[in-house]
Structure 1
Amino acid sequence: MNYFELFEIPVSLQVDKNILSKKYVALQKKYHPDFFTQETEYEQADALEKSSQVNKALKIFKSSDETIKYVLQLKGLLEEEEKYQLPPDFLMEVMELNEELSTDSTEQINKLEAEIYQPVKPIIDHFNNDTTTTEDLLKVKEYYYKKKYLQRILDRLEG
């Protein structure tokens, strides 16, 4: 069972936060281990496992980047620790930014992030599990890795 099935919501690159909150509360009421103290050991272990899955799913669904990663993994388009090759022109642009890190860099990186988001925004906004193509999802994958790359630079700046 994947996390979308667990929460009984459609597969999406953007989970509605209001629905997410309501589903989370309902699932916690259903599976919280405190409600299974009088049950068998098996039922207690099962409730603990489901409660843990609910918490992991919530953490993923609260983060747009993690939700994108999760959907790409569900579709078999992204693997853990994958060595993804970013386009050379993007790497050159980021390398130049990296060499000139300053207080203005955060603004430049945020601007670049907005630029790389524009081409995939319609795909993310209108994702449909049945009709969105693999080609479109591969564009989202590239965006995901570019954003991750930019985030590492921002983390260094702030750290």
Structure 2
Amino acid sequence: MNYFEIYDIPESFLLDEKALKNTYYKLSREYHPDFYANEPQEKQQEILQLSTRNTNAYRTLAHPDLRMQYILQQHGLLQEGKNNELPSDFLMDMMDLNEELMELEMDFDADKFHELGERSSGLMAQLDNDILPTLQRYPELHGITKEEALQQVKTYYLKKKYLLRIQETLSKFAARS
């Protein structure tokens, strides 16, 4: 049973956070091990597993990036060592950014640091804006198939991870300055 089925909600990248939390608390009460202390060991073990599964499902679905990763994994699109290629134009842009980061490391320049931070934030905002319509309509899509939408989300997810690494490097510069 996948995490969306546990909460009896449709697979979606954008969830009703309040409803998710309410269902989590309801299941937490239902599967709380203390209520089964006098039950046979087998029943206690079953409840413990249900409680653990509920917690894991909530932690995953409550966090947008983990939820996205989970959906992509459920559809076999994020597998270690499998087709996780990014578009060449994006990679060229990232190569330029990385070169500028290396130059910054050798010869720190506050203005250049600020410019790179602004540029990476702008790229992240553009990524978010570009994918939002797909996330909002998923899985009820018009004009593209579910598979095409999932591929778009996968590309977004991989690009975002890449940009987050660059922003992490920039934050290390900020800590040193």
TM norm structure 1: 0.89
Structure 1 residue corresponding to 2:152, chosen from 139, 144, 151? 139
CA distance in 2, matches of 1:157, 1:41: 52
**Greater radius of gyration (CA):** 2
Matches within 5 A, 1:15-94: 15-80=15-80, 82=82, 84-94=84-94
Aligned equivalent of 1:98 = 98
CA distance in 2, matches of 1:23, 1:72: 23
- The percent of aligned pairs where both chains have the same amino acid is 38
Aligned equivalent of 2:134 = 123
CA distance in 1, matches of 2:141, 2:89: 33
What whole-Å deviation, never above 9, does each CA across 1:111-134 have from its counterpart, x for those lacking one? Answer: 101212333211101112698520
Bigger CA drift: 76-85 or 141-150? 76-85
1:157 is displaced (CA, Å) by 2.3
Three-state SS of the structure 1 residue aligned to 2:130 is coil
Output the amino acid matched with 2:90. F
Output the amino acid matched with 2:67. T
Output the amino acid matched with 1:45. Q
Structure 1 runs, 4 residues or longer, greater than 4 Å off: 129-132
Structure 2 residue corresponding to 1:153, chosen from 155, 161, 166? 166
Q: List runs of 5+ in structure 2 lacking aligned partners.
A: 102-112, 173-177
- The CA RMSD over aligned residues, in Å, is 1.9
- 8 A Cα contact 1:11 1:129, kept in partner: no
- 8 A Cα contact 2:86 2:159, kept in partner: yes
1:28 is displaced (CA, Å) by 0.3
1:156 is displaced (CA, Å) by 2.4
* CA distance 1:103–1:124, change in 2 (3 Å): same
- Of Structure 1 and Structure 2, the greater helix share is in 2
